[in-house]
């Protein structure tokens, strides 16, 4: 059995600080058409290339008139001629040449097939009902600052300034590497139509690549999923070196616990620098961080349940730092709507069960996924799932927040009505 006694263990906060400190990115930029810019992060300020509107423009569907006809009160409109004394002017359209004031159509009385005209209200001043040239933007104005995520509305705003393309931060290339002799690629129904169980005995279908690549893509990264690696140190070393040569971030899945086939940490220590080997929370206890050839390597738990939230915990902030965005998950104080189930720990003097993981003295936290809802008194409340362990995927996707609950022999779990601090899942960010 390999010796893990010298492994560095950090709290969640220490792990995040360490991870972000070793992520020293120098992102490249690229120019994309404005139609492809939504969801991308601007690398440069966007500047207006013209004045908008580019002339005196009507605010609403109106009739354009001359202020000089109204400055002494309501004029006699008998004999007024369309095109000389008045003209139609529509919302957002340049005022007809020579006219300077607009009266909304609701205050206009037409007769004789729109040849006769009268008004039941006066304009308040010259240029009433209009907007001047450059009132929305002037050439050289800052439209959107660098570092902003382009939304559909901002894309339209940028285009209105005659910017048909923008300079954005290139998506981080994130290589995901699954490891494990027990993993196989899903054979699909057509692969073995006559076989009752197309997956070999004792094997599991590798699914984390689909889940984690989806998260990476949703967060603005460009995922590259490697094929499954066997638990072979030489194979792992070769692939990690290749990935470090072409990646901005590497995510290595599994192989960091205490099994006889868990080689990831030993390999990474050989070719890089490991900054911590495990954390003080579970699931996800064997989350770790390293650097190989200046590329951060994030180790996440193997099983899908733990892999999902450890990816949220550690891969999300790394991608956000690359994209120059807020790299911490938002925190909220919420009220518990129900008791949190206690973490079952054997008494100190009890004989240990052979199938249980020994409890380590010191601070340790149980990660809980919670649902959020608004109570009748307007307070945001959190509720645990009713299952004893981590909820099944369909249930888990309704969970909006994470809570790290202190565990121990003498620690009481929070009760209904207590206030706790939770972190929002990235999937629930506005």
The tens digit of pLDDT for each residue in 226-270 reads 999 998 999 999 999 999 999 999 999 976 555 445 678 889 999
Q: Which residues neighbour 33 within 8 Å (Cβ) at sequence distance 6 or greater?
A: 164, 165
pLDDT at site 359:
54
Domains of the chain plus CATH, in order, are 9-28+171-322 (3.40.980.10), 30-48+142-169 (3.90.105.10), 57-131 (2.170.190.11), 331-428 (2.40.340.10)
Q: How many helices (H) and strands (E) in the chain?
A: 8, 27
Distance CA 27, CA 44 (A): 13
Q: Within a 13 Å sphere around the CA of 314, how many CA atoms are in the beta-carbon half?
A: 37
What does the radius of gyration of the chain's CA atoms come to, in whole angstroms? 32
Distance CA 191, CA 397 (A): 30
State the pTM of this model: 0.87
Query: Distance of CA 104 to CAs 67, 109, 113, Å?
Result: 14, 11, 18
Q: Which helix (H) or strand (E) holds 241?
A: helix 233-244
pLDDT at site 306:
85
Interval 327-384: pLDDT, tens: 888 999 999 999 998 765 555 555 555 545 555 556 899 999 999 999 999 999 999 9
Distance CA 177, CA 217 (A): 16
Using 50, 70 and 90 to split pLDDT, how confident is the model at 193?
low
Pair 406, 312: CB distance under 8 Å: no
Say which range, 102-106, 264-268, 399-403, has the weakest mean pLDDT.
264-268
Using 50, 70 and 90 to split pLDDT, how confident is the model at 1?
very low
pLDDT at site 187:
85
pLDDT at site 343:
63
Using 50, 70 and 90 to split pLDDT, how confident is the model at 98?
very high
pLDDT at site 260:
46
Query: Distance of CA 22 to CAs 125, 297, 314, Å?
Result: 63, 10, 13
Q: Which residues neighbour 406 within 8 Å (Cβ) at sequence distance 6 or greater?
A: 363, 364, 365
- Dihedral (Cα; 14, 20, 24, 27), 10-degree rounding: 170
Distance CA 119, CA 298 (A): 72
Q: Which residues neighbour 255 within 8 Å (Cβ) at sequence distance 6 or greater?
A: 179, 180, 231, 236, 261, 262, 263, 264, 265, 302
Say which range, 133-142, 220-229, 340-349, 421-430, has the weakest mean pLDDT.
340-349
Interval 33-89: pLDDT, tens: 999 999 999 999 999 999 999 999 999 999 999 999 999 999 999 999 999 999 999
DSSP SS3 for 264: helix
Whether the pLDDT of residue 388 is over 90: the answer is: no
pLDDT at site 369:
93
Tell me the percentage of the chain whose pLDDT exceeds 70: 90
Per the model's pLDDT, the better-predicted residue between 152 and 259 turns out to be 152
Query: Distance of CA 17 to CAs 173, 251, 333, 394, Å?
Result: 22, 18, 22, 32
Q: Which residues neighbour 57 within 8 Å (Cβ) at sequence distance 6 or greater?
A: 92, 93, 94, 95, 130, 131, 133
Interval 276-334: pLDDT, tens: 999 999 889 899 999 999 999 999 987 887 899 999 999 999 999 999 999 888 999 99
pLDDT at site 242:
97
């Amino acid at each position: 059995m390999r010796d893990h006694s010298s492994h560095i263990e950090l709290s969640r906060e220490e792990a995040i600080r360490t991870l972000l400190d070793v992520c020293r990115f120098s992102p490249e930029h690229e120019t994309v058409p404005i139609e492809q810019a939504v969801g991308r992060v601007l690398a440069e300020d966007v500047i207006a290339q013209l004045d908008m509107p580019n002339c005196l423009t009507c605010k609403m569907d109106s009739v354009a008139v001359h202020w000089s006809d109204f400055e002494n009160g309501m004029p006699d409109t008998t004999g007024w001629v369309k095109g000389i004394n008045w003209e139609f002017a529509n919302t957002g359209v340049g005022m007809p040449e020579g006219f300077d004031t607009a009266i909304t159509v609701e205050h206009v009385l037409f007769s004789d097939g729109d040849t006769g005209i009268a008004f039941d209200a006066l304009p308040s001043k010259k240029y009433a009902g209009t907007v001047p040239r450059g009132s929305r933007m002037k050439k050289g104005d800052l439209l959107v600052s660098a570092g902003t995520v382009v939304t559909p509305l901002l894309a339209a705003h940028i285009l209105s300034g005659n910017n048909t393309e923008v300079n954005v931060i290139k998506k981080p290339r994130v290589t995901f590497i699954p490891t494990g002799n027990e993993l196989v690629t899903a054979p699909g129904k057509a692969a073995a139509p006559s076989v009752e169980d197309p997956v070999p005995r004792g094997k599991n279908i590798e699914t984390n690549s689909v889940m984690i690549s989806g998260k990476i893509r949703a967060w603005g990264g460009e995922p590259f999923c490697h094929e499954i690696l066997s638990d072979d140190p030489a194979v792992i070393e070769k692939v990690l070196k290749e990935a470090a040569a072409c990646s901005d971030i590497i995510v290595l899945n599994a192989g960091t616990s205490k099994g006889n086939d868990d080689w990831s940490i030993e390999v990474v220590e050989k070719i890089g620098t490991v900054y911590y080997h495990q954390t003080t929370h579970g699931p996800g206890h064997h989350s770790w961080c390293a650097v190989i050839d200046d590329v951060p390597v994030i180790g996440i738990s193997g099983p899908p349940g733990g892999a999902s939230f450890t990816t949220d915990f550690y891969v999300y902030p790394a991608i956000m730092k690359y994209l120059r965005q807020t790299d911490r998950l938002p925190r909220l104080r919420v009220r518990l709507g129900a008791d949190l189930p206690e973490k079952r720990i054997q008494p100190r003097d009890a004989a240990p069960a052979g199938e249980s993981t020994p409890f380590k003295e010191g601070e340790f936290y149980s990660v809980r996924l919670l649902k959020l809802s608004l109570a009748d008194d307007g307070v945001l409340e959190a509720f645990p799932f009713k299952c004893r362990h981590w909820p099944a995927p369909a249930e888990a996707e309704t969970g909006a927040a994470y809570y790290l609950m202190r565990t121990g022999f003498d620690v009481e779990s929070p009760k209904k009505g207590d206030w706790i601090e939770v972190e929002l899942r990235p999937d629930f960010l506005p």
